[in-house]
Amino acid sequence: MAELRRFYQPVDFNEAVTKGGVAIPTISSTSTLTNKTLTSPTIATPTITGTTTCAAVASSGAVTSSSATGGVGYATGAGGTVTQATNKSTGVTLNTVTGAITMNNAALADATTVSFTVTNSAVAATDAVVVNHASAGTAASYLVWPDSLGAGSFKINVRNVSGGSLGEAIVLRFAVIKGVSA
């Protein structure tokens, strides 16, 4: 009977666990980790607050934000700026996933579309690009859209719909949305 009591005694789950004399770290449901490295952890429904830095986050579920002002997007350092030289059809290079392009101030006739290539090593053939007229120039006078996306580049089209010729150095903003085919 004494032997059975030894097996049925209460277990203290806060007690340190050892294997071969080496302590095995445990994480409770509300542990705070500071300066710890976890290799391939499985974490169910975590709540992360503050600033978190990691190489990548992969999820088989939704990644969402309930912040009214925070949203989901790129952090400072992910973007860049470039200014178009020569004319409005001159290509630019900006190797970031988001950025601002200041176009050349050459005249663009009414009802005319100009296209230029953005060379960008951050763009894959399966990605999507969003672009808009962000600032400078006459509001509601331009239509802007991307096309011809491929690995390493995409085109931006700008059409003057003002009713007259415009020579403005408008600023375009773009963001790359990473995508896959499968």
Kindly report, residue by residue over 30-50, the tens digit of the pLDDT: 666 677 776 666 666 666 666
Largest CA distance in the chain: 100
| pLDDT at residue number 73 | 83
| pLDDT at residue number 128 | 96
What is the Cα–Cα distance from 30 to 47, expressed in whole angstroms? 10
> How many domains is the chain partitioned into structurally?
1
The residue segments making up the domain with residue 94 are 87-177
| pLDDT at residue number 81 | 97
Return the CATH number at 109: 2.60.40
Residue 111 placed within a domain = yes
| pLDDT at residue number 101 | 98
Residue 59 placed within a domain = no
What is the Cα–Cα distance from 160 to 155, expressed in whole angstroms? 17
- Quick check: 8 pLDDT over 80? no
Q: Any idea which of 3-12, 51-60, 61-70, 160-169 has the lowest mean pLDDT?
A: 3-12
Query: Facing residues of 156 across strands?
Result: 116, 146
- Quick check: 52 pLDDT over 80? no
- Quick check: 29 pLDDT over 70? no
Residue 45 placed within a domain = no
Residue 67 placed within a domain = no
Per residue in 104-132, pLDDT tens? 999 999 999 999 999 999 999 999 999 99
DSSP structure class, residue 30? T
The three-class DSSP label of residue 128 is strand
Band of residue 142 on the pLDDT scale cut at 50, 70, 90: very high
What is the Cα–Cα distance from 166 to 138, expressed in whole angstroms? 8
Residue 106 placed within a domain = yes
| pLDDT at residue number 143 | 97
Residues of the chain above pLDDT 70, percent:
72
Residue 31 placed within a domain = no
Residue 129 placed within a domain = yes
